[in-house]
Structure 1
Amino acid sequence: MKRTRLTVLAAMALSTTLTLTACGSDSDSDSNSESDSSSGDSSGGAVTVDTAMGEVEVPAAPERVVVLDTGELDTALALGITPVGAAETDTGTMGLSYLPQDQLADIENIGVVGQPNLEAINELDPDVIIGSKIRVEEFYDELSAIAPTVLTETVGAPWKENFALHAQALGRADEAQAVVDAYDEHVAQVTEALGGAEAAAETEVSMLRFIEGANTRLYGRENFIGSILEDVGLGRPAIADEAPDGFAVEISPEQVDQADADVIYYTSYGSADASGEEAAVGGPLWDDLTAVQNDRAFPVDDDLWFLGIGYEAADQILTELQESLAPTA
């Protein structure tokens, strides 16, 4: 299967940069220094990483990597690393549909996000484990007994900072910079395609997510997708600024009219029937929405827009934003 543009860029960068990038408390992806080894193999020294759990010493260039969440899986693949193990979501998704499926075939399931299977992880004999404190703090001691465990504080909004820290822990900071540069270039391209910053800001975009077993969410600004919309310069409806902690406003499917905006992107986590999406979309409140009346309500892939939380996902979201919003000749 064809690899995504960012993965290819990372792989190209890898071919010319196999020296170790050490890191301290600074999480910037371009903050580099020489390690005690530049051999590029997993036995060539170690580096100390400043994590949410304190300083952790990891191999200079780990080869057997276990990832504990979807964002970390995106990060590893963007940097040219195929993990030996990865966690699945509680709806049974591990591979994430937007990722190159041929790269996922040999990745072992190591439990559910937030509930790692310690025995399965131990059997994989990893060099390093990466994840987040908010997901697995209670398992940290057990995970650390298996392999050096690098955790960020949380997930979502700080995805760029998380990427930088995990890239340092994986010995791929230079490759990470190539990925970041490609993203910045793509953002500028999309903003220009939308008519420039002023035109983008005049388009209010609402992010609506129906969730199986929970309330429907209208996403604010402090989350993965919110940061991408902000980077492009797109406007947001007033309700986006009412979200507690900037994350999301919770509504029932019967309050779907609160999603009104120039453009709506919507999806379901879990079954569209069980999440309330099927009942809400096409109902009388839905038909009255501005975006629906103007044919600017777009269903999107939940794996991509809400679960990926990384540069591979962000790159594809930018493409979809341009395809759906750019003026046609």
Structure 2
Amino acid sequence: MFVTRTLRALVMFAGLLAAQAHAGERTLETRYGPLTLNGEVKRVVTLYEGALDSSVAVGITPVGAVATRGGDGVAGYIQQQVENVAMVATTRETNLEAVIALQPDLILASSTLPEEQYRLLSAVAPTLVPDVEYYQPDTWKNEALAYARALGREARMKRVLAGLDERAEGLQQRVQRQLPEQDRQAVLARWMPQGALMMSTRLFSTSLLAAAGFDVQDGGIVKAGRPHSSPLSLENLSLMDEDWIFMATLNEDGRAAMAAAESSPAFARLSAVARNRVMPVDGQVWTSASGPLAAGVILDDIERILEQAEN
């Protein structure tokens, strides 16, 4: 009986220590200075898709979020996990009154949030703006870790990211076995009603393509510090003609525009078209989202595409 009581007491004590560690004081270096948080946060508003993704990945369901680019709700890949989340922002604008109404105890914002908006939001609740270097292969990981630290769940995020690194390494080995070195060049494009946009090689999704073994190109037309090129005319589509074209669309308008372009001679002349290597992907994930859950979806897509190519 004594042993049983002692074990129970030890379990309870360990649980108490874990809770204290989980809810302890932590200071984060942010773009606008140190941010000190104390205790477990319960009402989180995310004003960036990567912040929403990262929160859900470590077991936190935010009460407010930003709508995905090209949509009026969150991206489809994460909808079921945040069914009751309130939309308080778009990629262009935040509804400050809607944020206030949710009474958040923490706001997770994009690393690009202007200081003027940060001042307004930080008057509502502690606001984290990650201090990360833009357009680097590990930018999204550093953002995810910053959000996880604010939530008191950094260790859990590190495990999630390690699992993704392991998956990417496995896919890289598969690409090296399956595709000759001269057959691995790829581009990511997003088809819009105005035409195709060549996406930067330094984005979240293209860094995953590279980690999975592809040689990612941008046709030399994406300016430094920009996420994508200007729209390509049909006459200039040859600039994106590599071994593989990963073609993203955001919504029905983009899909309709791409369907129209596919019937054009300029599109038909692409070697990737002739080799059946134009791979449709979800633009809400590949060209708008960020974070570990979206990374898992992208790695799933790459694996599926490799299986199709093998067969």
1:103-252 to 2 correspondences below 5 Å: 103-153=81-131, 157=136, 158-196=139-177, 199=180, 202-212=183-193, 216-237=196-217, 239=219, 241-245=220-224, 247-252=227-232
- Which SS does the other structure have where 1:307 is aligned? coil
Question: What do residues 111-165 of structure 1 show as CA deviations (whole Å, max 9, x unaligned)?
Answer: 2224111111111111110112424533111110111000025766411111111
Q: Kindly tell me: are residues 232 and 273 of structure 1, through their superposed partners in 2, closer, same or farther at Cα, counting changes over 3 Å? A: closer
Aligned match for 1:282, one of 260, 263, 277 = 263
Q: Residues of 1 paired with 2:15 and 2:114: CA distance?
A: 32
Q: Residues of 2 paired with 1:318 and 1:227: CA distance?
A: 11
Percent identity, aligned pairs only, is: 27
Q: Kindly tell me: are residues 111 and 251 of structure 1, through their superposed partners in 2, closer, same or farther at Cα, counting changes over 3 Å? A: closer
- Which SS does the other structure have where 2:60 is aligned? coil
Question: What do residues 17-43 of structure 1 show as CA deviations (whole Å, max 9, x unaligned)?
Answer: 9978xxxxxxxxxxxxxxxx82535xx
- Return the offset for 1:277: 2.2
- Which SS does the other structure have where 1:245 is aligned? coil
Aligned partner of 1:251: which letter? Answer: P
Aligned partner of 2:270: which letter? Answer: L
Q: Which has the larger radius of gyration?
A: 2
Aligned partner of 2:164: which letter? Answer: Y
Aligned partner of 1:116: which letter? Answer: T
- Which SS does the other structure have where 2:263 is aligned? coil
- Which SS does the other structure have where 1:321 is aligned? helix
CA RMSD of aligned residues (A): 2.7
Q: Which residue of 2 aligns with 1:9?
A: none
Checking the alignment, whether the CA contact within 8 Å between 2:68 and 2:74 is kept in structure 1 is no
Q: Which residue of 2 aligns with 1:308?
A: 289
- Return the offset for 1:187: 0.5
Q: Give unpaired runs (5+ residues) of structure 1.
A: 1-15, 21-36
Aligned match for 1:62, one of 41, 49, 68 = 41
Aligned match for 1:80, one of 42, 59, 66 = 59
Checking the alignment, whether the CA contact within 8 Å between 1:268 and 1:302 is kept in structure 2 is yes
Aligned partner of 1:53: which letter? Answer: Y
Checking the alignment, whether the CA contact within 8 Å between 1:267 and 1:302 is kept in structure 2 is yes
- Return the offset for 1:282: 2.8
Aligned partner of 2:80: which letter? Answer: D
Q: Residues of 1 paired with 2:297 and 2:181: CA distance?
A: 18
Q: Give unpaired runs (5+ residues) of structure 2.
A: 1-13
Q: Residues of 1 paired with 2:69 and 2:210: CA distance?
A: 29
- Return the offset for 1:294: 0.7
Decide which structure has greater helix share. 2
Q: Which residue of 2 aligns with 1:318?
A: 299
Checking the alignment, whether the CA contact within 8 Å between 1:72 and 1:130 is kept in structure 2 is yes
Query: Which deviates the most, 272-281 or 119-128?
Result: 272-281
Q: Kindly tell me: are residues 64 and 199 of structure 1, through their superposed partners in 2, closer, same or farther at Cα, counting changes over 3 Å? A: farther
Q: Kindly tell me: are residues 297 and 89 of structure 1, through their superposed partners in 2, closer, same or farther at Cα, counting changes over 3 Å? A: same
TM-score by length of 1: 0.80
- Return the offset for 1:256: 2.1
- Which SS does the other structure have where 1:194 is aligned? helix
